[in-house]
Amino acid sequence: MSDAASPPGFEDAFHKAAERHERIWVFISMVLLSLLLAGTLFFVVLDYGVVVKTDGYRIDPSAGATAPLADAGLVRTGPNAYSVHMLAHLWAWTPSPLHMPQGAEITFHVTSADVLHGFEVQGTTINMTAVPGITGAVTYTFAHPGTYNIICNEFCGIEHQAMIGRIIVDPATPS
Ligand code: CUA
């Protein structure tokens, strides 16, 4: 901008004004980005229910006390609600495969018999850590029928990558 026709002092004033505008707009864009981030977070947590709840009760992993619970499979707890005790162990999920009806509210009580495992159901928001000695709970409703993979997302040893379970959501029968 070294135009010979510019009045003296014009360039300095121009740059100062430009810098002030830049600062203001950088600030505004940062505020907007922060609001967007916070808004998205609220939306995801409140609308999609990305909240992990913990039962808070302890269970003795060495006693094998969790196995009978897991063997029980899906237990009806309400008109359209079920619960299931899901046991992680080297290197599988029990029970699996696990059938459940479409559209029902399913509460998973998840624990581990040995080391830390990750309980993640692909294509859903279910993602929690299976901790030996502690059970955690997560509730989910499968809106669509199909086969869902339970994958372990916590490295747990040599067969970690093969630790896959199956959830089969059966189509709701029209009434
Ligand atoms: Cu279990 Cu990785």
Determine the distance separating the centroid of ligand 1 and the alpha carbon of 149, expressed in angstroms: 13
Q: Which helix (H) or strand (E) holds 98?
A: strand 98-101
Determine the distance separating the centroid of ligand 1 and the alpha carbon of 164, expressed in angstroms: 9
Determine the distance separating the centroid of ligand 1 and the alpha carbon of 116, expressed in angstroms: 7
Residue 64 reports pLDDT greater than 60: no
Lowest mean pLDDT among 33-42, 47-56, 132-141: 47-56
Per-residue confidence band for 74, with pLDDT thresholds at 50, 70 and 90? confident
Determine the distance separating the centroid of ligand 1 and the alpha carbon of 23, expressed in angstroms: 49
Q: Please tell me if the CB atom of residue 121 comes closer than 6 angstroms to any atom of ligand 1.
A: no
Q: Please tell me if the CB atom of residue 115 comes closer than 6 angstroms to any atom of ligand 1.
A: no
pTM over cut 0.75: no
pLDDT attached to residue 107: 93
Q: Are 128 and 162 in contact (CB under 8 A)?
A: no
